[in-house]
Amino acid sequence: MKKTAPDKQSNAGASADRTVQNDGHELWNSGLSMLDEIAPRINLEEGIHAILRKPELELTVNVPVTMDDEQVKVFTGYRIQHSSARGPCKGGIRYHPGVDLNEIRALSALMTWKCAVVNIPYGGSKGGVQCDPMHMSEGELCRMTRGFTKMILPVIGGKRDIPAPDMNTNEQTMAWIVDTVSSIKGNMELEIVTGKPVSLGGAAGRKEATGRGVAMCVKELLKRKRLPIENTTVAVQGYGNVGSIVAVTLHELGCKVVAISDITGGRYNPRGLDIPALNTYVAAHPKGLLEGYKTEDADRITNEELLSLKVDLLIPAALENQIHAGNVNSIKARMVIEAANGPVTREADSVLNNREIVVVPDILANAGGVVVSYLEWVQNLQCFMWPAEEVNANLERTMKESFNSVWNLAHKHNVSLRIAAYMLAVEKVAGVMRLRGLSHSTE
């Protein structure tokens, strides 16, 4: 049987380079280091600080799957809930060979801060399965998803922990989860996940929400830097669902997207790429990749070459830890917008800050997905649907308000946008914990 990716757009650029392995340990330590740095800035109590340094719940499962060749393979998966202080936990499920416990821990904490930054009444969680979906058939992915869902079912639910799509998962994955849970419980459980197909209770615009949210942050940043959006040069690393939507949206707004890349490499044209033509090609590719794309107007480049281009905006939209100590000095962009989770390491972030390269942090820049996921969840609970125009209007209002809050706090305290975003997020979570008495008693 032919092996197929679960979704052309979901996989296109999910990893910037398959030779680069995730470093979940570094990502988790980076998150703890950031929390430790923020704590004295907001006079965080020792008890609350200690609670927030550890996830509330960690579940590791081993999922047996009968493959198409009738061999049984066992996949390791995780579901981690970092904090439920502000509401039910919320976080995606990713399928990738580099998934590990520390990566999921770190991403669950990022979700806590992300939800707080955009003032969504959720806590943070994350899930993942260590697998290579690029070499699995749809049937294998379906069986693995159903098995994983059954194993994490005791800790998820519409009022407890709501999964969503993430790297290499999509609307179809969420539909399989809905069906699995509904079959077990004997009633329709639409609110169990977000990011579903619209025909199955999904929100209009959810698939594009993360990318649109990134583009909205770009607009707000350029406005405050008093830079025209027309002809602003952009390089996008990672051409999956998020990266491609960012590129399309910015192209439509008048930006000059000069470079894009995915796991097969990149394309570069200093005069601007033909984004509509690229998207047509990617949509027709069996795995949604740039592989084989030929044009006289663009040169082939590597992912590392893309990162070092002299552009106005560099948008890493692939894996974490892409900008690190080893390549940060080659960054020539004026501004970096983190469309991926944790694409800039702590050490590299410090270097960029010292060089006065503005970085819009992930917990703000890519929060558009969870904003619309919240709207989808509310729709499911109320058995009500909003039109796409209203969903997009809510997304834009929330992203603008959140960017404004972070920007103003950064200038008030003369700190980076990252520090300001974390100050805002940690204080919101801590404030609710104080109200609930969570730092004093477990009764």
Residue with tokens 């960012």: 246
Amino acid (1-letter code) at residue 266: G
Q: Which residues are catalytic?
A: 126
Sequence-ordered list of residues with C-beta below 8 angstroms from that of 155, at least 6 positions apart, any chain? 57, 59, 79, 81, 161
Q: What whole-number distance in Å separates Cα of residue 315 and Cα of residue 255?
A: 13
Amino acid (1-letter code) at residue 331: I
State both tokens at 135: 């070499």
Q: What whole-number distance in Å separates Cα of residue 373 and Cα of residue 378?
A: 9
Q: DSSP assignment of 388-407, as one string?
A: HHHHHHHHHHHHHHHHHHHH
Q: What whole-number distance in Å separates Cα of residue 7 and Cα of residue 396?
A: 27
Q: What whole-number distance in Å separates Cα of residue 387 and Cα of residue 391?
A: 6
Q: What whole-number distance in Å separates Cα of residue 144 and Cα of residue 63?
A: 7
Give kind and range of the element (H or E) at residue 11: helix 8-11
Sequence-ordered list of residues with C-beta below 8 angstroms from that of 401, at least 6 positions apart, any chain? 119
Amino acid (1-letter code) at residue 258: V
- Displacement of CA 151 from its chain's centroid (Å): 24
Phi, psi (deg, nearest 5) at residue 359: -120, 120
Report CA-CA distances (Å) from 235 to 60, 251, 308, 317, 326: 37, 11, 10, 10, 20
Beta strands 123-130 and 72-83 are antiparallel
